[in-house]
Amino acid sequence: MTLAVRYTSARTLDIAPIETSAPGPGEVELAPAYVGICGTDLHIFHGDMDARVSTPAVLGHEMSGRVVRVGPDVEGWRPGDAVTVMPLRWDDSCPACRSGHQHICRNLDFIGIDSPGAMQQRWTVPAATLVRLPGSLPLDRAALVEPTAVAVHDVGRAGVRDGEKMVVVGGGPVGVLIALVGRATGADVRVVELSAHRRLLAEQLGLIAWDPADVDVPDLVRDWTGDAGADVAFEVSGAAGGVDTAVEVLGVRGRLCLVAIHPKPREINLHRFFWRELTLVGARLYDRSDFEQAVSLVADGTIPAERLISKVVSLAEAPSAFEALEAAGDVMKILVECGDEQRGDQA
């Protein structure tokens, strides 16, 4: 038996024992060390994904931990190895998979949403999902590899190049990570964010952040770019106003990368797309190369993961952490500690 954080119904989580078994062929049993709570987890908590999530559901897909046991036919892994998980299983037969885009498989199993996630003391996953972590990388920081991989994929999908002007609309965890990855790519970056706390953190990380309630963002972009407009914008806010801002700041042949999940259709200024020959790009999840690059960026400090961690709570405190994240204004990333790394529970 192992303890797990389970979603049972809208706004209801419990901590309950669940059955465990030895890993089967091709599987590995992990001891999760830290699991991040992300926006998708909050959507599940609110009951917005009940049509997709089977209850009781063990949550969590942003994680780090160590191998405990390996199943038959598993090679290259041994107990004690530090790992994270790329939480995707695909069918390898649908049109998306056959075209090489397995991460958007039509029948994708997103582990932690469609199947049990990492917010438990022991977790069995396919060995193929493991991504190795350097031994020098603290496991709390390594829990931010998954959202960093999202940012790496987004910046890659948008085709950000050295010297380009880049605007990120929404300065939450993923927005800040996109800004940091874009900066590392060589872009000149501006972040648009309503929360004073998040703007301050962005500024402490060396980014320039604007308050859209206090300034005219399109005017500032025109001044900044010599009236040319931004080369690329990322919509990470999930708000209708964020969409408007992201479109408005773009210059001729600018690219808009849609990152946020919008729960309902949004109006968009298509005339602007016609008039300036804009491009809209969707970005969803990541592939293994994105994950491996994210590991490097977190490990070498390009992504200062420790600065983005607002709080670490125990497994028993996870339900209250979800409630704390709803306020969101003064919180970036909360991690759930599933074991005691100092005592060696993860080995």
Residues belonging to the active site: 40, 43
Upstream peptide bond of 87 is cis (omega within 30 degrees of 0) = no
Q: Which of 66, 86, 112 is nearest to 294 (CA)?
A: 86
Alpha helix (H) ranges present in the chain? 39-45, 95-98, 139-142, 145-158, 173-185, 196-204, 217-225, 240-248, 270-276, 288-299, 305-308, 318-327
Both tokens of residue 254?
A: 């600018």
CA 177/CA 116 separation, integer angstroms: 26
CA 67/CA 77 separation, integer angstroms: 8
Contact 254, 229 (CB under 8 A): yes
* Residues 6+ positions from 12 with CB-CB distance below 8 Å: none
From edge to edge, which strands make up the β-sheet containing 208-210? Answer: 208-210, 188-192, 165-169, 230-235, 250-258, 279-282
The secondary element (H helix, E strand) that includes residue 32 is strand 27-36
Contact 117, 87 (CB under 8 A): yes
Query: b or e along 230-248 (b: 16 or more beta carbons within 10 Å of the residue's beta carbon)?
Result: bbbbbbbbbbeebbbbbbb
C-alpha distance from residue 3 to each of 16, 161, 259, 292 (Å):
5, 46, 33, 30
Q: Which of 171, 168, 280, 190 is nearest to 235 (CA)?
A: 168
Query: b or e along 136-159 (b: 16 or more beta carbons within 10 Å of the residue's beta carbon)?
Result: ebbbbbbbbbbbbbbbbbbbbbbe
